[in-house]
A and B are shown apart, each in its own frame.
Chain A
């Protein structure tokens, strides 16, 4: 539908123009990074660039992605710093990202950099799938700890398993896309058919399965390692299990939004985002970062997690996303009777 807004527009344009005069450059940065980390990131950046002020707009991955897509024809953001790689691929395929090779990008692990030259986005760190296993509740239910994804289809886990719904959770989608890559298209769906028999319910968010496992609402939650480590640190009786077949992962990444009027400042920010010191900063929360050699172990992180990361095909994930989600929905969503 189109309203004719021309007349109103001329009335309001004047008032809009009057508001954008600043001494320093201000960048509007969209992010899905945890709220508690943002001020730390900005402070570190301002140490070397005191003249650039960051105005954060923070929300969950799904909502920030939806917001960016909704603003496709009228982008509000200058930079995206800390959003899921699959989301950035989605934005790239809409032509919404400004390609730019930040200074020093060649030092990064190549799987963290967009394949095009110049790259449309550069990675920061990775979050990795894992299984949160509540030893107390599992003991009560007489379960044995699983060691692989295939184990989870065993009948003993029926009703003791929760995973995120890939239709609403990025973590859920990275699980599904990793199974399709690990087991092949057919094998992947067969695996999920079997797994579905054991799932008590699907949650909307990716961190909830692990928090529910931590709170004893369910013995086993399929979630991500970072969340598990945090809950374990908070005192939950959790084991974080890395399935032996390998685990899916996604990265947080940075990109310049096409059409920004502050390209120079945006480039400075992206330059900073790939530096060694920025990567050391990411390492405080994430065990895996883009800059090789800087990562120090994070407390409560399971061993062997980095080795278990599969060679993730992000292009497959992004380009088949709509199809996979539709298939998933028709197979599992709502068809299952509540148990």
Chain B
């Protein structure tokens, strides 16, 4: 139920080809098509809308405007001039300058070198056809009637651009140094954070799997805690730890936390559990015979580490690195809170769309952000497909031997990492309870009066719970059923391959990009699905789609453990497949189903990037409230709300644990019968 599962699946369609389609086959294929259609509507169409939007440009079309000029006495000459012809002679504006954004305005007086607003000359201007648009002051003129204006009014005429298609958005983007710099910045922090996180997580996982230190269960729990909070929260914690009024700001020696330092520390915090899980899975399986061989060859511990341990875990390490890289480069919440002047791609999208209402440029940055995200994803998949089974039937599981010195060092190391994680969460809870940091340190619950702040109040918190429950319920049904169909249906090879591809795609699409793509697709009045825009439904659809891949892989892994003989047997017993599905498959896979549900719940509670463009005032969410309260400067209430999300997720986890235990006893007894 986590990113670790991504690595462990290789898809091999079962090659049972039947001559004739049975009724079951038709139903299953129909079901598969329905779920594939869901993915097309919730993923492929929106992305297509976004790509087209990035090529949608705005140009001043000078041929659409005509002017007439009078003499000093106000007598118009019959000559009508097109602005295009005027510009041909004057070269007042270059072709490049004619491309602009949707909000572009072009003062018309640049085409009249002799223009003076004091002169008695009169001007007439009109649109050649219904497409042209210009402003007199702020009044929009769309008709083809002549507008007669004195020179003082004429200087207030602004031409408006018309929509066309082309590459000029991209040219504009790459020629704006501030925007271009963001690419470097994003890649820079992603690489540094990846290196630090993977090294820290490796030794943490190593300590837990390869030493005899104590409190392993405790440390494992602590390591998973960051997954339960939105990525904004470490940013807020860093403000209280290292900001101008931070409790331990001395540790930075005068450097500012607002910038790359803050983003990197926060990224290490929120990506740590992901890296830890993947590497831990890789380190958990190892063959003791290799280590025995190393000892008998008298290899030093150092050499053994580099020739046995690292190669054994290399796929885990590589996979962890790409997962972390992807998480950091696509994250939006953390740099928004702590990034200061350090611009990154994900925040640029937000600024373009929310700050400047420049949707086209938002789409362009999205396309730019997708490239490294898809690359990282693709490399990870290629590496994973090369992985071969490390454990064979003859393998001997490796059991660590106690070593008092190493065990103490590892305990101290894990203790420090644990302190970092607990410290970040603890300072948020502490700050949330302080009345007015730093001038009035008395305790108070004032920061929990969310209804008095921007962001949606307690309503946002309840919305979040509702959204997370719906996502868990609907998402689990859709995803598990989809995985079942693709895994257990026979024949229909091409269809299944396409379905697999669709199911993998969401993993590579950053949340911000998905959210923006949803605006373009669903907020189109031509689209009948427009009715879901601004409702809870679109938030649920977006979140299910955003977290589809990992859930799908978890389901596939569980289903692969079931022999396909079940289907053959039920077919020969003339039992409908859906009876088998409900009587056998679902009960056997219940632990995986519960894992998918809790994964979706937790992520729905913490997600910001996917829903930041989609919430409406009535469907604001807790994670969005954290963002907006921080944005308005209400940092302590933002911390308070962030911790509410944390406690809710812990509560959900506990419920999940109790359910899993109960379910395991009732449905999984067969597993331990031998």
Contact = CB atoms under 8 A, between A and B. Distances in A.
A4 to B, nearest CB: 9
Size band of the interface chain B makes with A:
35 or more
Contact of A217 (B49, B176, B245, B355): B245
A207 B138 contact: no
Contact of B438 (A94, A209, A216): A216
Interface in B54-109: 100-101, 103-105, 107
Given A205-B631, A334-B341, A338-B258, A3 B526 contact: yes
A69 B519 CA distance: 13
B340 A338 contact: yes
Nearest to A116: B139
Given A3-B526, A169-B355, A208-B631, A215 B437 contact: yes
B375 to A, nearest CB: 23
A200 interface: yes
B525 A74 contact: yes
A32 to B, nearest CB: 10
B367 to A, nearest CB: 14
A93 B635 CA distance: 37
B307 interface: no
Contacts of A9: 526, 528
A48 interface: no
A325 B356 contact: yes
11 contacts: A69-B357, A92-B138, A93-B135, A116-B139, A204-B351, A207-B632, A217-B243, A217-B244, A334-B177, A336-B341, A338-B258
Contacts of A318: 138
A201 interface: yes
Interface in A287-339: 315, 318-323, 325, 329-330, 333-339
Contacts of B137: 115-116, 315
Size band of the interface chain A makes with B:
35 or more
Interface of B: 45, 48-49, 52-53, 100-101, 103-105, 107, 135, 137-140, 142, 156, 158, 160, 176-179, 181-182, 185, 239, 243-245, 256, 258-260, 336, 340-343, 351, 353-357, 359, 436-440, 451-452, 454, 457, 519, 523-529, 531, 616-617, 628, 631-635
B616 to A, nearest CB: 8
B617 A236 contact: no
B634 A211 contact: yes
A209 B451 CA distance: 22
A66 B353 contact: yes
Contacts of A104: none
Given A36-B452, A69-B357, A215-B245, A202 B341 contact: yes
Interface of A: 1-3, 5, 8-9, 11-12, 16, 35-36, 56-60, 62-63, 65-66, 69-71, 73-74, 89-90, 92-95, 115-116, 120, 136-137, 165, 167-169, 200-205, 207-212, 214-218, 234-237, 315, 318-323, 325, 329-330, 333-339
Nearest to A34: B454
Nearest to A339: B256
A116 B357 CA distance: 26
The 5 closest A-B pairs by CB, nearest first: A211-B633, A168-B355, A338-B259, A74-B525, A1-B52
Contacts, number: 176
Given A8-B529, A12-B528, A216-B439, 12 more contacts: A12-B531, A63-B354, A69-B357, A93-B138, A168-B355, A168-B356, A208-B631, A211-B635, A214-B633, A334-B341, A338-B259, A338-B260
A285 B179 CA distance: 38
Contacts of A5: 526-528
A2 B52 CA distance: 10
Given A201-B340, A217-B244, A3 B439 contact: no
A3 B354 contact: no
Contacts of B436: 215, 234-236
B354 A1 contact: no
Contacts of B105: 319-320, 322-323
Nearest to B142: A95
Contacts of B45: 3
Contacts of B633: 203, 205, 207-212, 214-215
B239 A2 contact: no
Contact of B357 (A60, A65, A334): A65
A218 B524 CA distance: 43
For A94, A321, A333, the residue with the greatest tally of chain B CB atoms inside 10 Å of its CB is A333
A86 to B, nearest CB: 10
A201 B258 contact: yes
Contacts of B528: 5, 8-9, 11-12
B343 A333 contact: yes
Nearest to B50: A1
Given A16-B531, A169-B355, A202-B341, A319 B178 contact: no
B337 to A, nearest CB: 10
A216 B245 contact: yes
Nearest to A329: B178
A9 B530 CA distance: 10
Nearest to B525: A74
B631 A319 contact: no
Contacts of A94: 140
Given A66-B353, A115-B137, A338-B260, A235 B101 contact: no
